[in-house]
Structure 1
Amino acid sequence: MPLVNIDIIEGVFSAEQKQIMIKKVTDTMVSIEGENLRGVTWVKINEVKQGDWGIGGQTLTANDVKAMAQG
């Protein structure tokens, strides 16, 4: 049974967006592994506190990620 972990910064995604992530990642895994494994395909979302995540030596906040998404 597959387990997919998704790490995100806390406060970036809404509950609805996280539900969509879980559904779409599950659907993707099922497209690879077969429909019979849908019931045992786990997707886990881990939220990391703002400032506890960094890229290139710089910490990121939810606002930083939202600004990146805006372009």
Structure 2
Amino acid sequence: MLFFLSQLKLANLTDEQKGDILAELTGVVCHLHVHTENLPDLIGDKVVEELNQGDDSHYVKVKGARCDRILPRSC
């Protein structure tokens, strides 16, 4: 993704070249979305699994404006 973003900064790109780069970026973003869409659930499941095992020393409960969250202490 960073490669394609850096290519957009090149001088003298034609509209066709810009379109090709943007098309590649669209593909990359879609690919990342597909492979990460369940990531929040997987992370949450792992935290709950650790908490259920009694090891909550690495986590802290944070009260947010929208919801309560459990975050790693390192955040």
Which one has the bigger strand percentage?
1
Determine which structure has more spread, i.e. the larger CA radius of gyration: 2
- For this structure pair, what is the TM-score category when the shorter chain's length is used for normalisation? 0.3 to 0.5
Q: TM-score, normalised by structure 2?
A: 0.33
Give the number of the structure with larger relative contact order, counting CA–CA contacts within 8 Å between residues 6 or more apart. 1
What TM-score, normalized by structure 1, do the two folds share? Answer: 0.34
Larger helix proportion of the pair: 2
